Amino acid sequence: MHVVDLLLKLLSYKSITPDDAGSLQFIEEYLDGYEAIYVNKEGVKNLFLSKTFAAGPHLCFAGHVDVVPAGDHWDTNPFVPVIKEGNIYARGTQDMKSGVAAFVQTCKEVEDFNGTLSILLTSDEEGDATYGTVIMLEHLKAQGMLPDYCIVAEPTCEITFGDAIKIGRRGSINGYLTIQGKQGHAAYPEKSINPVHQIAPILEKIAGVNLDNGDDDFAPSKMVITDIRGGMEVTNVTPSSLKIMFNVRNSTKTTQEDIRIHIEKYFNGLEYQLNLTQGSYPFVTTRNSKVVESLVESIKGITGQKAKLSTAGGTSDARFMGAFGIDVVEFGVINDTIHAPNERTSVKEVEDLYHVFKHMIQNFK
């Protein structure tokens, strides 16, 4: 089967999170020479396929078969892929069935490798991911089967295919800040404690400020205010409290404790409560890791481009790999229509991605 034909097949599965719609069983049967392990929980299916060719490094390809709901304003049926003017249209073309098709077809055709090849797939990446990739990694760790290296085939390219790979991701910290005041009449402000007035001179100290200076891998961690509300939506009553929500996409240089210290510095003396939650933790793979250098060389060999090494963007399942000490990178097609109507990728990108993976396996020593 050609890699594009395989992609068309995968796109036809209506695998909206957490339903794999039978796609994992198809992939298992397609890679009949690989040993299969399923770890399923709470309606989520996770599949691990592996094959040992020789004693050597364990290289894993990882991704997800689930997609977000199609939504409205499609020109064609989002689960009946259409090729038009060199582009493939369907939900999941970029995010990320193109990547899955590329590495599945590559592994299907491998006849020799200096180590172990594996594939890790989940049906719950677009959702909470509570019972997805991390559950399989916990199982593999218990069995002593964790990979040494991993490539997550998420869409990473920005303008042209091959221009960027991700060697890490920022974490995500959510903040919930409540400033307590004393409600009163607007005509008698001296008898009330107005939390809006209290935070007015402080806001510029927290809104949009950098919490660190960044480094070669990460942009500065910035505090981004996402919501401010208080009062009863009337003009003559001052609010009894004010709530602020914020998010920090943090690098490895900023932690929750750093944020607490920053808030305390400017809110000292006020009555306030701060609650922080961590949705994901930052990670980075060293630039001289074998998987980084090999992937960069393979991209250059196929496309002629030297990919930049990035940590920009949101989160992905690569964060779980990083937490388990696996050297992980992300590389896939151009990311410009993910989760959008008429999601599409080009036939050439899919073919080139397949050739990059094939080149890397052939030269991974």
What CA–CA distance (Å, rounded) separates 116 from 54?
A: 7
- Among candidate residues 66, 124, 154, 349, the one labeled active-site is 66
What's CA 151's distance to the chain center, in Å? 13
- Among candidate residues 19, 20, 124, 125, the one labeled active-site is 125
**Could you tell me the two tokens for 81?**
């892929």
Sequential DSSP letters for 264-283: HHHHTTS-EEEEEEEEE--E
Closest to 285 (Cα-Cα) out of 319, 249, 322, 252? 322
**Could you tell me the two tokens for 182?**
């004393």
Query: Is residue 29 packed enough to be buried (19+ CB in 10 Å), middle (13-18) or exposed (0-12)?
Result: exposed
**Could you tell me the two tokens for 274?**
């701060």
Would residue 231 be called left, alpha or beta, if left means φ above 0 and alpha means ψ between -120 and 50 degrees?
left
Closest to 136 (Cα-Cα) out of 153, 120, 152, 116? 120
Q: Is 297 part of the annotated catalytic residue set? A: no
Strands 283-284 and 168-169, by their bridges, are antiparallel
Q: Is 215 part of the annotated catalytic residue set? A: no
Q: Which residues are catalytic?
A: 66, 125
